[in-house]
Amino acid sequence: MADVQNSMKGKTIIITGASSGIGLEAALGLAKLGARIVMISRDKKRGLDAVEYVKINSGNKSIDLLLADLSSLKNVRKLASVIKRKYRRIDVLLNNAGGVFGKRAVTSDGFEWTFALDHLAPFLLTNLLLPVLKKSGHSRVVTVASTAHLMGHINFDDLMGEKKYGEMTAYAQAKLANILFASELSRRLKGTNVTSNSLHPGVVHTKFAQSGSAISSFFYNVFGFLMETPAQGARTSIYAASSPEMEGVTGKYLSARKITKPSAEALDEAVAKKLWDVSAKLVKI
């Protein structure tokens, strides 16, 4: 792993969901490598606290904060516009934000919340930032998925869980969508200097399930001591974003900083292409 001070100096890294958990620790780890970190947070206070935490613990003062509620496609578009206006280059886009929700809810766009936040938001943000990524040299798109994808299936007849909703069904589908998106993106970027990979961070004790059901909350509270810390969970994200070993590597799924084989459906190029086309229609690009 490229854990060398200043090995990322001069590079700009965008991290969504950066105010807590894995995103926060990834921001800290990459800041220690000298990169300029742009932390995306929904909440201003939490975001400012996170920026201060990273500055103090990394010694790196090049830490910026941008605010956006990524469940709203309008806000995703605004965020992309701000990023393109403020930054000439993006060396790494780390799509980390996500969540799981106990009761079915819809966003301001009318989409099921989990699918919107975990998949449609990074899908749209990445596509909007591709022009900057392409002109920045050897850039990387890293999308945080989960081993939960193994239980997932892309239900094109009920993507939004209108007919039947289950929190883990929705989450597993969204995490499978992350891998399919990252793989399809890598194919569409063939011939460019931009790579696209996805990863499983580990079973990490974070607050991501705080909006989930009583069952998921109980599980995280009671069995949390068996899980990895956010700092441990961020290692694969940091590796995918910064390691020289990942230079030029694309279309892969990582776990524990190693290339790993995902589920059969995650490798299905026809499903990936269909999901891309459906997603592009939903977000209107």
Question: Which residues are identified as catalytic?
Answer: 171
Sheet of strand 194-200, all strands in order from the earlier edge strand to the far edge? 63-67, 36-41, 12-15, 92-95, 139-144, 194-200, 253-255, 258-260
DSSP lists the bridge partners of residue 64 as 38
Sign of CA dihedral 184, 186, 190, 191: positive
Taking the C-alpha atoms of residue 280 and residue 267, their distance in angstroms, rounded to an integer, is 20
Cα-based torsion angle of the residue sequence 242, 151, 117, 76 in order, rounded to the nearest 10 degrees: 50
Hey, what are 190's tokens?
A: 């063939």
Taking the C-alpha atoms of residue 177 and residue 151, their distance in angstroms, rounded to an integer, is 12
Hey, what are 29's tokens?
A: 């780890």
Beta strands in the chain (DSSP E): 12-15, 36-41, 63-67, 92-95, 139-144, 194-200, 253-255, 258-260
* Residue partners of 49: CB distance under 8 A and separation at least 6: 19
Contact status, residue 94 vs residue 133, Cβ threshold 8 Å: no
Q: What is the enclosing helix (H) or strand (E) of 276?
A: helix 269-283
